Amino acid sequence: MDLAFSPADEAFRTEVRQWLHARVPREPLPSLETADGFEAHRAWEAELAADRWSVVDWPAEYGGRDAGLLRWLVFEEEYHAAGAPGRVGQNGIHLLAPTLFAHGTEEQRARVLPPMARGEVIWAQAWSEPEAGSDLASLRARAVRTDGGWLLSGQKTWSSRAAFADRAFGLFRSDPDTAKPHQGLTYLMFALRAPGVRVRPLARLDGKPAFAELFLDEVFVPDEDVIGEPGQGWRIAMATAGNERGLMLRSPGRFLAAARRLEGLWRERGGPGSERDRVADALIGARAYQLFTYAAASRFLDGEAVGPESSLNKVFWSELDIALHETALDLLGPEGEPADTDWAQRYVFALAGPIYAGTNEIQRDIIAERLLGLPKGRR
Catalytically active residues, by annotation: 244
Residue 110 contacts other proteins per CB under 8 A: no
Among residues 185, 79, 61, 165, which one has the least CA distance to residue 123? 165
One DSSP character per residue, 265-300 reads HHHHH---HHHHHHHHHHHHHHHHHHHHHHHHHHHH
The one-letter amino acid at 236? I
Environment class of residue 277 by beta-carbon count within 10 Å: exposed (0-12), middle (13-18) or buried (19+)?
A: exposed
**Nearer to ligand FAD by C-beta: 232 or 360?**
360
Which one among 352, 363, 366, 367 touches ligand FAD, defined by CB under 6 A? 352
The one-letter amino acid at 208? K
Residue 364 contacts other proteins per CB under 8 A: yes
Residue 158 contacts ligand FAD per CB under 6 A: yes
CB of 90 to ligand FAD, least distance (A): 10
Q: What is the x/- site pattern for ligand FAD, positions 117-156, by CB under 6 A?
A: --------xxxx----xx----------------------
Which one among 101, 215, 220, 294 touches other proteins, defined by CB under 8 A? 294
Q: What does the DSSP 8-state code read for residue 368?
A: I
Interface region with other proteins, contact rule CB under 8 A, candidates 40-48, 178-186, 294-302, 339-347: 294-302
**Nearer to other proteins by C-beta: 171 or 282?**
282
- Cα separations in angstroms, 367 against 266, 293, 320, 360: 35, 17, 18, 10
> What's the CA gap between 339 and 161, in Å, rounded?
20
- Residue 361 and residue 377 in contact, taking contact as beta carbons nearer than 8 Å: no
> What's the CA gap between 58 and 67, in Å, rounded?
7
Which one among 35, 205, 339, 374 touches other proteins, defined by CB under 8 A? 374
Tell me which residues touch other proteins (CB under 8 A): 1-6, 9, 70, 256, 263, 266, 273, 276-277, 279-281, 283-292, 294-295, 297-299, 301-302, 309, 312, 315-316, 361, 363-365, 367-369, 371-377
Tell me which residues touch ligand FAD (CB under 6 A): 125-128, 133-134, 158-160, 352, 355-356, 359, 361-362, 379
